[in-house]
Amino acid sequence: MATKCKDLFDYGIQNERSDIRVHVCPVVQRVYVYPTEEGRRAIKSGNYPKLDGYQPGVNGRTAAGYVVPPFAIRRCVCIELNPKVWQAVDFQDGDSTSIKGAKAIQLVAQMIRNGVFPLPWSVEKMEDDPDFKMQVCGDDIIVAIGSSVVYIQVKCDFRGGAAELGGTGNLYLQTAERNPLKAK
C-alpha cells in the first residue's frame, strides 16, 4: 500500500553543515566532489530547473532539488575509479535508499584511506600525522588532522553524472525531502 503525500521538509544542501559535497554516481562509475558553497551558488543562480524526486511505493513526491550539470558547479572535480572498486562495493539498482547511501559512504571512506580523495592536506601529512582521524556520522564523514577539520556530505546520486557515460547529465542537489518509509 502506498503512503499518502505530505509536505516536504526544508532539508538539503542549503542548510547542511559541510565543507565538501560528494555525489557517488554508480551508473557512470564516477565520484564528483565540490565545495558545498559552490553547489549552493549554482542553485542560487536561477539557471537550473527544480525537479521533484519520488520513491517506489509512495504516492507523491518525496524530495525536491535542482538538477545541475557537474561542471556548472565551480571547482567540481570528477574522480574515475578502477572498475574493480565499483564491483567490490556492488551497487544495485534495487538496493534501498539506505543501502545505496551506506555503500556510498563506504566507497568515499575507502577513497580517503587510500589517498585518492581530494582533501586540503597531502596524503603524506595524513599518513605521518598521529592526529589524523576519520569519523562517519550518518551521511557525513568528518576528517581531522590536529585542529583542522573538514566536514564531507556524501550522497548516492545513482543515475547522476555524465550523459555520455549513461548518466542523466546532471547532479541532483536536494533542497527538501520527506521520509514516509522511515528509511535510515
State pLDDT tens for residues 124-137: 555 566 667 888 87
Contacts of 173 (CB under 8 A, 6+ apart): 12, 13, 39, 42, 43, 65, 66, 67, 68
**Is residue 184 in some structural domain?**
no
Instruction: Please check the confidence at residue 122 and state whether its pLDDT lies above 70.
Output: no
In a domain, 183, yes or no: no
Confidence of residue 121 (pLDDT cuts 50, 70, 90): low
* Nearest one of 103, 40, 106, 79 to 161, comparing CA atoms: 79
pTM of the model: 0.88
Our count of domains for the chain comes to: 1
> DSSP string covering the chain, please?
-PBPP-PPEE-STTT---SEEEEEETTTTEEEEEEHHHHHHHHHTT-S-EEEE--TTBSS-SEEEEEE-GGGSTT-EEEE--HHHHHHHT--TTS-HHHHHHHHHHHHHHHHHTT-S--SS-HHHHHH-TT-EEEEETTEEEEEETTEEEEEEEEE-TT-S-GGGTS-SSEEEEEEE--TT---
* Distance of alpha carbon 76 from alpha carbon 71, whole angstroms: 6
pLDDT digits (tens, 9 = 90+) for 69-98: 999 999 999 999 999 999 999 999 999 888
Closest CA to 153 of 131, 137, 169, 168: 137
What pLDDT, in 10s, does the model give residues 139-158?
A: 788 888 777 889 999 999 99
Q: Which residue has the higher pLDDT, 184 or 89?
A: 89
Structural domain includes residue 95 = yes
Answer whether residue 96 is part of any domain: yes
pLDDT for 125 equals 53
Is residue 65, in this structure, part of any structural domain at all?
yes
Mean pLDDT, the chain, rounded, equals: 88
- Residues 102-109 have a mean pLDDT of 95
Cell of 57: 511505493
User: Average pLDDT of 30-46?
Assistant: 97
Is 45 part of a structural domain of the chain?
yes
Decide which of 58 and 167 is more confident.
Answer: 167
* Per-residue confidence band for 99, with pLDDT thresholds at 50, 70 and 90: very high
Whether 117 is in a domain gets the answer yes
**Residue range of the domain that includes 34:** 9-177
Count of C-beta atoms within a 10 Å radius of residue 149: 12
In a domain, 4, yes or no: no
